[in-house]
Amino acid sequence: MHIKEKKMSKSYGDIIISFDLEWTKNYKIKNGNKPFCFSYIYFYYPTFPKRIEDLEFGFISHYVENIDEISDLVENADTFLHSFLNQNGIILGHQLSSDISVILRYSNQPKTTNFSELKELWHRRKTVDIFSKLRVFDTRYDMETFLKQKSRRLVDVCDEFSFIVTQPELAYSMTKMQNMYYANKDVSIMEKLSVLNLRHSLSAALLFLYHQNGKKPQKRINVNKIVYRNLKDYYGYVNSKEFKALLNEG
């Protein structure tokens, strides 16, 4: 298992947690969607900087190095979720329900109870629940008053919010790239897909922030600048010429 973590000290305000899961897809067989990496990014609200590009976040990123580790990946995601469930704040994602479903369908272990709890919280997310410290927000389904375009793909919603989220990592589909990684253990593939996954988590968190503030950005925001500031000490790919070229966009 390839593991990267950046811890962030607790600060004033509610915690904002964004979760994203990536999986290889095979719709021809039962439970054919197999997760291969996940990320949580988190920070505290409303203590974020005046310039959103200066946002600092903590993160947890786990990535399987072989298929036999997928069960461990699912268990790890569930274990980290437990550490967040008793905190006051928001847990969110883009089409979070799909990520939850893949976790629960893949897991054969009844102890994956934290994602079962998250599933219930997702279903109750639009009701007031005074007994739940952690609320749920889904940036695909809960931003209707803000969105005018029909597409609800994350990249298209980001574009509507003037977020620059260029993702050159996708030379092929994620399924094909991950199968290539299983075959040849090319570290560059793992790093690119890990960064892609973290960008997804970050993008959803940023969408939530602007939705919470009740307005879209007044100027274009280069999300890759935030990615670079927070990940440059953790991923060699982020320091490559290919990635640094993205910092000039916008």
Is pLDDT of 150 > 60?
yes
pLDDT tens for each residue of 47-62: 656 788 889 999 999 9
Q: What is the pLDDT of residue 49?
A: 62
Of 89, 56, 93, whose CA–CA distance to 77 is shortest? 93
pLDDT band, very low/low/confident/very high, at 46 (cuts 50, 70, 90): confident
Q: Are 39 and 61 in contact (CB under 8 A)?
A: yes
Q: What is the pLDDT of residue 99?
A: 96
pLDDT tens for each residue of 229-244: 999 999 999 999 999 9
Proportion of the chain above pLDDT 70, given as a percent = 94
Integer-rounded Cα radius of gyration of the chain? 17
Average pLDDT over the chain, rounded to whole?
A: 91
What mean pLDDT is predicted for residues 121-144?
Answer: 85
Higher pLDDT: 33 or 97? It is 97
Of 86, 51, 89, whose CA–CA distance to 212 is shortest? 89
Q: What is the pLDDT of residue 147?
A: 87
Q: Which CATH superfamily is domain 2-248 in?
A: Ribonuclease H-like superfamily/Ribonuclease H (3.30.420.10)
The CA-atom distances, in angstroms, between 33 and each of 103, 123, 175 are 10, 22, 10
Q: What is the pLDDT of residue 132?
A: 67
Q: What is the pLDDT of residue 194?
A: 98
Residue 233: CB atoms within 10 A of its CB come to 9
d(CA 39, CA 212) in angstroms, rounded, equals 22
Q: What is the pLDDT of residue 180?
A: 96
d(CA 108, CA 27) in angstroms, rounded, equals 19
Is pLDDT of 11 > 80?
no
Q: Are 148 and 204 in contact (CB under 8 A)?
A: no
Residue 32: CB atoms within 10 A of its CB come to 13
Residue 71 CB burial class (10 angstroms; 0-12, 13-18, ≥19): middle
What mean pLDDT is predicted for residues 83-110?
Answer: 88
Is pLDDT of 80 > 70?
yes
pLDDT tens for each residue of 203-225: 999 999 999 888 888 899 999 99
Higher pLDDT: 250 or 124? It is 124
pLDDT band, very low/low/confident/very high, at 109 (cuts 50, 70, 90): low
DSSP 180-246: HHHHH--HHHHHHHHHHHHHHHHHHHHHHHHHHHTS--SS-EEHHHHHHHHHTTT-GGGGSHHHHGG
pLDDT band, very low/low/confident/very high, at 119 (cuts 50, 70, 90): very high
Supply φ then ψ for residue 169, to 5 degrees: -65, -25
pLDDT band, very low/low/confident/very high, at 202 (cuts 50, 70, 90): very high
